[in-house]
Amino acid sequence: MTESAQSLGIAMVGHAFMGAVHSHAWRNVHRFFDVPLTPRMVVLGGRDEQRAKEAADRFGWAAVETDWRELVRRDDVDLVDICTPGDTHAEIAIAALEAGKHVLCEKPLANTVAEAERMAEAAARAEARGVRSMVAFNYRRVPALSLARQLVAEGRLGELRHVRAVYLQDWLSDATAPMTWRLRKEQAGSGALGDIGAHIVDAAQFVTGEHITGVSGFVETFVPHRRGADGADEDVTVDDCAVFTGRLSSGAVATFEATRYALGRKNAMRIEVNGSRGSLAFDFESMNELWFYDGDEPGETAGFHRIVATEPQHPYVGAWWPPGHGLGYEHTFTHEIADLLRAIGEGTSPQPGFADGLRVQRVLAAVERSAAEGARWTQVDDMK
């Protein structure tokens, strides 16, 4: 390890959408947040050398590697950031952890529960040696959603009764759109369920502080074939949408919807939590706002009120702009990396860890099993 009190050598594998936004965060985090370690953007990994070099020049990485194994072996690398499709997460993450590198891994943690279990076990072994790992569930770092977690933890909602969580996108609605790796089970693991459903599963568990213990659901594929790169039709082997009910560890009930076929919804990640004393509601398409209903208010003044989560006392916001100057999607990744750097510097366990990623993976697997068995009620703890 080359880690010092001042810097941390970063390697990132993958340079598409997630690679771009992660690069932005690594490049800027120490300029806005007081973090104990300054990231050095040492090397970018990509299979195509020319494309990797172009991305490295654009995003600010010092070098490139076309073999992730060589990237992991480098002495100037202290942390490996994994921004690749799900079928590669387990192999890269386990190798990096065993090499003594900290790991940040995009969600979902893996494509299967078995892979996620091996990753969580490797993370636990590595943590005993001071090597840290974290899953990139960036929506936890939306200031308004972090504020929602605080309100629940403070008891402002009372006894939780009902959670509603949806994630609606429309980028696959065109049946003539070409095939993509996200529609192949061997690469993506699942479709809308794992891609965006994983986010609302984690968000529901994060905001409530509880676990999903059982589910009943179904999935649907609306367009079974799409045109591949060679011009031939290719089978779509993942779901296009998933709908399921669940029960939380307290006994509260929950409903979940994830689809990439909701025309007009670009990135509508929404969550509503209802309790005995109050309710809250959040929609990422208005990401700087949280709606809160205080059931202790007298009837003549009671009602949902809008909290604009841009005050310096709101989570993360004090590092940015004056009140009312909203934050964007990219800021959530900067917050995520700031938290990771603090945990590494302080020698604590970053959250969410690989065990949290495994817990989400078990929920996703339980939904798939339930759907395969006619929406049968399925206990999450039974999923292996």
Per residue in 40-49, pLDDT (tens digit) is: 999 999 999 9
Taking 80 as the threshold, does the pLDDT of residue 58 lie above it? yes
Quick: pLDDT tens for 183-203: 999 999 999 999 999 999 999
Contacts of residue 106, defined as CB under 8 A and 6 or more positions apart, other chains included, come to 18, 82, 83, 84, 89, 135, 136
pLDDT, tens digit (0-9, with 9 covering 90-100), for 88-108: 999 999 999 999 999 999 999
Q: What is the pLDDT of residue 383?
A: 53
- Cα torsion at 248, 250, 254, 256 (round to 10°)? -30
Domain-wise residue ranges, the chain: 7-138, 142-350+361-372
Phi, psi of 381, deg, nearest 5: -65, -15
- Reference 123, options 114, 133, 115; nearest CA is 133
Which one-letter amino acid corresponds to residue 163? Answer: V
Overall fold of domain 142-350+361-372: Dihydrodipicolinate Reductase; domain 2 (3.30.360)
Helical (H) or strand (E) element with 152 = helix 143-153
244: its two tokens: 């399921």
Number of neighbours of residue 67 by Cβ within 10 angstroms: 10
Residues 6 or more apart in contact with residue 28 via CB below 8 angstroms = 334
Given a cut of 50, whether residue 3 has pLDDT beyond it is no
**Which among 329, 332, 351 is positioned nearest to 340, based on CA atoms?**
351
Q: What is the model's pLDDT at position 168?
A: 98
Flag whether pLDDT at 384 surpasses 60. Answer: no
Pick from 147, 150, 195: nearest CA to 169: 195
Tokens of 166: 């949806």
In the chain, the DSSP E strands lie at 7-13, 38-45, 63-65, 79-82, 102-106, 133-136, 160-168, 212-220, 225-227, 233-235, 241-248, 253-259, 268-275, 278-283, 289-294, 305-308, 378-379
Looking at residues 4-18, what average pLDDT do you find?
89
DSSP-based three-state secondary structure for 198: helix
Torsion of CA 174, 175, 179, 180, to 10 degrees: 40
**Could you give phi then psi for residue 261, rounded to 5 degrees?**
-125, 25
Interval 270-292 mean pLDDT: 98
End-to-end CA distance of the chain: 34
Domain 7-138: assigned CATH number: 3.40.50.720
Residue 2 pLDDT greater than 80, yes or no: no
pLDDT at 238: 97
Res 382 pLDDT > 80: no
% pLDDT > 90, the chain: 96
Quote the mean pLDDT of the chain.
96
pLDDT of residue 381: 80
Question: Which whole number is the average pLDDT over 81-90?
Answer: 97
Q: Structure pTM?
A: 0.95
pLDDT for the residue 30: 97
Residues 6+ apart with CB under 8 A from 352: 134, 135, 137, 140, 202, 206
Residue 154 has pLDDT above 80, yes or no: yes
